[in-house]
Amino acid sequence: MTKVRSTYLLLLAMAIAFPYLVPDPDFWVSSGGSRALWLGVTALSMSFLNRNLGLMSLGQLFFSGISGYIVAISSVTYGVKFGTSVPLAILAGTLSGVVIGFIALKTKGVYFLMLTLAVTLGLYSFANSAQEITRGHTGINSIPSPVIFGIDFAYTKPMYYLFLLIAITIFTFCKFLESTSFGIALKGVRDNEDRMTAMGYRILPLKMIAFVFSALIASIAGVMGAFYVTNISPDSVGLIRSIDLLVIVVVGGATYLGGAFVGAALIVVFEAIVQDFTQYYVAATGALFIIVLMLAPQGLMGISAQFRRARAKKLGAAK
Amino acid sequence: MTRFIFTLLNGLTLAGLYFLVASGLTLIFGLMRVINLAHGAFYLLAGYISWNVVDKTDNWFLGVLLGALSLGIFGTLVYLILLRKFQYEELRVALITLGVSLILAQGMLAVFGGEYYQTSIPENLSQSIPIPGIEISYPLFRILVLFLAIIVAIGLWLFITRTRYGAIIRAGVDDTAMVSALGINVQAVFIWIFFLGSVLIGFAGSIGATTNSFGMGTDGDYLLFSLQVVIIGGLGSIGGVAIGSFLVGVIGQFAVGYYPTLSGVITFAMLVLILAFRPQGILGKIR
């Protein structure tokens, strides 16, 4: 435990010092750090579900999209202040989780994956067709960034530290939640629903709370994305984005909470490097994804465990 | 009244196209438990291939034939190289096919560009026919698509339920070991199913490229349609796909025709409503 804790503290110190350590901070703090934190929080909402309920959801961008669009529409079209628009957006995104959860949680495995993908693609086609509300394919541009206590979060460093604070808070809360009796009950549901039912647990409410909590995280990430990208369009919730997010989760390690941030950082760096060589970095990301799925399905965080298992198996065979 | 019948015809012919699109998906899943989420990308690829063939040779039938066959070969290769090893891990296979669709999406954008295309209808099929009872006439080609879908539906159903090969396929899925013991090469059967399913999506893509324009983003649209169809109808059943395509096509067209802004919401509400009562889809089996 102390080893894990010191690793976390070291990573935290590095994350705080990051803007002062990297070369070319104008690029890397924003396009590297803030972007990785935003994508990491979105991916975390997915890993949390996968780790605790065993459900792989492609619906997280739906919640992000709902909250992102509400921030964009209320602040650009109606000039609503952040104090109102941000809570409203997060609330709406979270509540949409109740509706989606109501139908999606009746399914499992690959059905759940398909259903949540259909939900996200449905928002994409709605955003494309409902031009009066969403301005169609062009989307909503120049979303103003928040100014709190005189600090303008459009600037690179304030935004980075705000995102870091949000990411650490959510990550710590997820860890805390997993250690409560609620979190342990969730793992029980994941591993054996029938036994948990026999023990008197009510399965659906447990799943629903976890699902709505993940929708809350995704909604917060949606607001982060609106402020980071400063625009939102149907492509923000399109097929390619959905798969991109999945790549982050799987490459980092879908059964580890930290995998979301490891994956996000890796993909951000990977894309930045590949972009220098070829404009087809999306295809390169797809190839990386397939390779990871075929060779190391537990992702980067799971590689050492995979090696250990493989070696144990080899030793066992040798005996 | 005219508007109503016109919308209904649009819905029905679109339902025919959706059936062709989703039948390959459901065939492969129903028989092999493999879900191919690169389905939309396959559809779009077939569209590009057939468009180019028709553009070069001026032969529409050759375009459709090559579109269907090349997708059959491509799909089989994807299955052999990437999927076969993990065939019994449903989720892993589904994720790999999503990776394939990511690569295909950008590959097609690089090769064919961002413009939209539509294959021209062969000349002898391009006329409109009058619809009895109302004042308008309707494109013959679209009505042919509807009939084509019905023929494919009946053909598939007969093939799976009434022929020896169909029996082998069904048995091979239920008990692979037993069927192998009877001297049948189940692995070869699976390859043929994947080929057939991919030919179906290639066929659908070539037909759809003629009835509707296609281009960047069409892959996501048709993946959504086929997911809606199989989720509503029930995954793995041909009849379910027929019902699902009918609902998504007809209700979708009425929504677009009468409430264009809300069209996405209406189809979605229908999906939610059906799943609230039947989580496995209308004809789906509980597993």
**Which pLDDT belongs to residue A317?**
64
Contacts of B83 in chain A (CB under 8 A): none
pLDDT of residue A140: 83
Q: What percent of chain B is predicted at pLDDT more than 70? A: 98
Give tens-digit pLDDT for A146-201.
777 777 777 777 888 888 989 999 999 998 988 898 888 888 888 888 888 888 88
The whole-number average pLDDT for the span B8-34 is 88
Residue of B42, B85, B102 to mutate when probing chain A, most A C-beta within 10 A: B102
Q: Which residues of B touch A131 (CB under 8 A)?
A: 261
Instruction: Assess contact for A58 and A45: CB atoms under 8 A.
Output: no
Q: How far is A52 from chain B (nearest CA, A)?
A: 17
pLDDT at B68: 94
Backbone dihedral angles phi then psi of residue B31, each to the nearest 5 degrees: -95, -30
Report the gap between the CA of B279 and the closest CA in chain A (Å): 6
Asked if A129 and B223 come within 8 Å (Cβ–Cβ), the reply is no
Which chain A residues are within 8 Å of B231, Cβ to Cβ?
A: 111, 114-115, 118
Nearest Cα neighbor of B286 from B237, B219, B241 is B237
Residues 6+ apart with CB under 8 A from A311: none
- What's residue A316's pLDDT? 72
Distance of CA B218 to the CA centre of its chain: 13
For B89-139, the pLDDT digits (tens) are 888 898 999 999 989 988 998 898 888 988 888 877 777 878 776 777 888
Would you list the DSSP string of A54-117? ----S-HHHHHHHHHHHHHIIIIIS---HHHHHHHHHHHHHHHHHHHHHHHTT--HHHHHHHHH
CB contact under 8 A, A121 and B95: no
Please answer whether residues A29 and A160 qualify as being in contact, where contact means their C-beta atoms are separated by less than 8 angstroms: yes
**Res. A274: pLDDT tops 80:** yes
Element (H, E) at A147: strand A147-148
- Please tell me the distance in Å from A293's CA to the nearest CA on chain B: 7
Which of these ranges, B3-12, B63-72, B85-94, B264-273, has the smallest mean pLDDT? B264-273
Question: Of how many residues is chain B composed?
Answer: 287
Distance, CA of B101 to CA of A207 (rounded, Å): 31
What A281-286 contacts at long range (C-beta under 8 Å, 24+ apart), as own/partner pairs, is: A282/A240, A282/A244, A282/B102, A282/B105, A282/B106, A283/B102, A283/B103, A283/B106, A283/B107, A283/B110, A285/A244, A285/A247, A285/B102, A286/A243, A286/A247, A286/B99, A286/B100, A286/B101, A286/B102, A286/B103, A286/B106
Interface test with B, best of A100, A103, A133 (most B CBs within 10 A): A103
Q: Identify from A110, A119, A289 which residue to disrupt to test chain B contact, counting B C-beta atoms within 10 A and taking the largest count.
A: A110
| Bridge partners, A148 (sequence order) | A151
CB spacing of A129 vs B101 below 8 angstroms: no
CB atoms within 10 A of CB B170: 14
Would you say how long chain A is, in residues? Answer: 319
Interchain proximity A125–B230, CB inside 8 Å:
no
Partner-chain residue, chosen from B92, B235, B276, that has the shortest CB–CB distance to A297: B92
CB atoms within 10 A of CB B137: 11
Residues of chain A neighbouring B220 (CB-CB closer than 8 A):
121, 124, 238-240
Chain B: residue whose CA lies nearest to A250:
B95
- Tell me the pairing of strands B128-130 and B137-139: antiparallel
How many angstroms separate the CA atoms of B251 and B102, rounded?
A: 30
Q: What is the DSSP letter of B252?
A: H
Q: Which helix (H) or strand (E) holds A172?
A: helix A156-179
| Amino acid letter for position B88 | Y
Task: Answer yes or no: is pLDDT of B65 > 90.
Answer: yes
Sign for the CA dihedral angle at A219, A225, A230, A233 comes to: negative
Q: B227–A114: do the CB atoms touch at under 8 Å?
A: yes
As a dihedral over the C-alpha atoms of residue A70, residue A73, residue A76, residue A79, rounded to 10 degrees, the angle is -80
Which pLDDT score, from 0 to 100, does residue A15 have? 79
Q: Which of B95, B106, B220 sits opposite A238 (nearest CB)?
A: B220
Chain A neighbors of B107, CB-CB under 8 A: 280, 283
| Pairwise CA distance, residues B26 & A111, whole Å | 13
Nearest CA in chain A to B102: A286
- Residue A154 or residue B77, greater confidence: B77
Q: What is the pLDDT of residues A298-308, one digit of tens each?
A: 877 877 787 78
Among all residues of chain A, which has the CA nearest to that of B284?
Answer: A111
Closest partner residue to B102 among A129, A130, A282, by Cβ? A282
Nearest to B90 among A110, A119, A123 (CB): A110
Contact between A111 and A118 (Cβ < 8 Å): no
For residue range A56-83, what is the model confidence (pLDDT) as tens digits? 899 899 999 999 999 998 888 887 788 7
Cβ contacts of A99 on chain B, cutoff 8 Å: 272
A293 → closest Cβ in B99, B110, B276: B99
Please write the tens of the pLDDT for every residue from A87-125. 999 999 999 999 899 888 888 888 888 889 888 888 888
Residue A217 to residue A236: CA distance in whole angstroms: 17
Task: State whether B102 and A243 contact (CB < 8 Å).
Answer: yes
pLDDT at A278 over 80: no
Helix axes A239-252, A109-129, angle to 10 degrees: 140
Instruction: Say if residues B9 and B138 touch (Cβ distance below 8 Å).
Output: yes
A246 to B95: CB separation less than 8 angstroms, yes or no:
yes
Contacts of B96 by beta carbon, 8 Å cutoff, 6+ apart: A290, A293, A294, B82, B83, B86
Query: How wide is the angle at C-alpha A117 spanned by C-alphas A116 and A122, nearest 5°?
Result: 95
* DSSP string over A112-138: HHHHHHHHHHHHHHHHHH-HHHH-GGG
Contact residues, chain A to chain B, C-beta under 8 Å: 56, 99, 102-103, 106-107, 109-111, 113-115, 117-119, 121-126, 129-133, 238-240, 243-244, 246-247, 250, 280, 282-283, 285-287, 289-290, 293-294, 297
Domain assignments of chain A as residue spans, ordered by start: 27-238
* Residue A45 pLDDT exceeds 90: yes
The rounded distance, in Å, linking the Cα atoms of B228 and A118 is 7
Task: Please write the tens of the pLDDT for every residue from A230-272.
Answer: 888 888 888 888 888 988 998 888 888 888 888 898 888 888 8
Mean pLDDT for the stretch of residues B214-235:
87
Shortest CA gap B233–chain A (Å): 13
Query: What are the tokens at A228?
Result: 């980071």
Max Cα distance, chain B (Å): 63
Distance CA B206, CA B55 (A): 13
Locate the chain A residue with the closest alpha carbon to B231.
Answer: A115
Q: Say whether pLDDT at B287 is over 60.
A: no
Q: CA of A123 to nearest chain B CA: how many angstroms apart?
A: 8
Q: What is the pLDDT of residue A283?
A: 85
Strands (E), chain B: 128-130, 137-139
Nearest-CA distance B82 → chain A (Å)? 8
User: Does residue A227 surpass a pLDDT of 70?
Assistant: yes
Residue A314: exposed, middle, or buried by beta-carbon count in 10 A (0-12, 13-18, 19+)?
exposed
Which one of A122, A250, A289 has the shortest CB-CB distance to B268? A122
> Is the pLDDT higher at B5 or at B20?
B20
- Other CB atoms within a 10 A radius of the CB of residue A184 amount to 11
Q: With CB atoms and an 8 Å threshold, state whether A117 touches B82.
A: no
